[in-house]
Amino acid sequence: QRAKTCGLGRFCFFSEELQRSALELSLEEDLRIAIERNQLRLHYQPQVCFSDGRLRGVEALARWSHPRLGDISPARFVVLAEQCGLIDALGRWVLREACRQLADWRRRGLAVPAISINLSPSNFHDPGLPATIAHMLAQHGLRPGELMLEITESVLMDTTPAFLKILREVHELGVLLSMDDFGTGFSSLSHLHRLPVQELKLDRSFVFDLEHDGASRTLSDAVLHLGESLQLSVVAEGIETEAQRRILMQLGYQVGQGYLFSAPLPSAELESWLASRSA
């Protein structure tokens, strides 16, 4: 009796696993095709100066609308790409598309000063990354200072010489580096000042609680001072309310992004957003 139940249970478990991995496998294949056929999209979220509303730049965020399954979040497909060896291809696609878009805005006289893209820490294990970046910038006639690469704080754990070499080569191109989701990782701060980073992005979990939680305010304050003392710019993300913006300004923050200003938008909608503001 026991053995039979157990057997049945195992059978169910096994077949569920099989189904799941079959789904994952076909998703991996779909992602590979989507990257190859240029079916991913970038959305752009404005980064705004608090004092005068000036646009400092935009962050590009990848979007995948699956033909059958609908929208799949980047949190999910980035992990998938990491698992199945597509992360370098994804990183290259994002770089190429972001550079193409910024150059297109330039040509058409649209005032987008800079673009930030997200790269995964594993992209910094690709020795070809610096050359790819240099190539994209040259191809689109962009200055390196117009491109910022966001990487999550977990890179602070990676102190291998190979990783640091690639990071330094990227820095030497003149491209800027930003530490995304700052304050959530378990990073060693002593390592931070040795990395060629120019920006910290205060994680949105701190911003979320600013109005109600004194500890979030204290930590946001600490991140700003840390950034300032290392001469880094500090950007707050996930700003949804006027009250959050007010508190951030009181703390001394000058730049931020979030739904309060705009959600990430397809390029055409970002252009309308820009036009409606200058009107």
The residue among 21 and 73 lying less far from ligand C2E, judged by its C-beta, is 73
The residue among 19 and 156 lying less far from ligand C2E, judged by its C-beta, is 156
Q: Looking only at residues 147 through 186 of this chain, which bind ligand C2E when binding is defined by CB under 6 A? A: 150, 180-181
Are 258 and 237 in contact by the 8 Å Cβ rule? The answer is yes
Helix (H) and strand (E) counts in the chain = 10, 9
**Per rule CB under 6 A, is residue 258 in the interface with ligand C2E?**
yes
Convert residues 148-177 into a mask of x (bound to Mg ion by CB under 5 A) and - (unbound): --x---------------------------
The residue among 78 and 142 lying less far from ligand C2E, judged by its C-beta, is 78
Please, is 130 exposed, middle or buried when counting C-beta atoms within 10 Å of its C-beta (0-12, 13-18, 19+)?
buried
The residue among 61 and 247 lying less far from Mg ion, judged by its C-beta, is 61
Give the start-end residues of each E strand in the chain: 41-49, 55-66, 70-72, 115-118, 147-152, 176-182, 199-202, 233-237, 255-257
CB of residue 120 to ligand C2E, shortest distance in Å: 4
Q: Are strands 176-182 and 199-202 parallel, antiparallel or unpaired?
A: parallel
> Token pair of 22, please?
């079959």
72-81 burial, b if ≥16 CB within 10 A, otherwise e?
A: bebeebbebb
The residue among 61 and 234 lying less far from ligand C2E, judged by its C-beta, is 61
Calculate ∠ Cα 75-47-52, nearest 5°: 160
Residues near 162 by beta carbon (within 8 Å), at least 6 away in sequence? 125, 127
**Per rule CB under 6 A, is residue 129 in the interface with ligand C2E?**
no
**Per rule CB under 6 A, is residue 120 in the interface with ligand C2E?**
yes
CB of residue 20 to ligand C2E, shortest distance in Å: 22
CB of residue 118 to Mg ion, shortest distance in Å: 5
Convert residues 179-198 into a mask of x (bound to Mg ion by CB under 5 A) and - (unbound): -xx-----------------
Distance, in Å, from the CA atom of 185 to the CA atom of 199, rounded to the nearest integer, reads 16
Contacts to ligand C2E by CB under 6 A: 45, 61-62, 73-75, 78, 94, 118-120, 150, 180-181, 204, 237-240, 258-259, 264
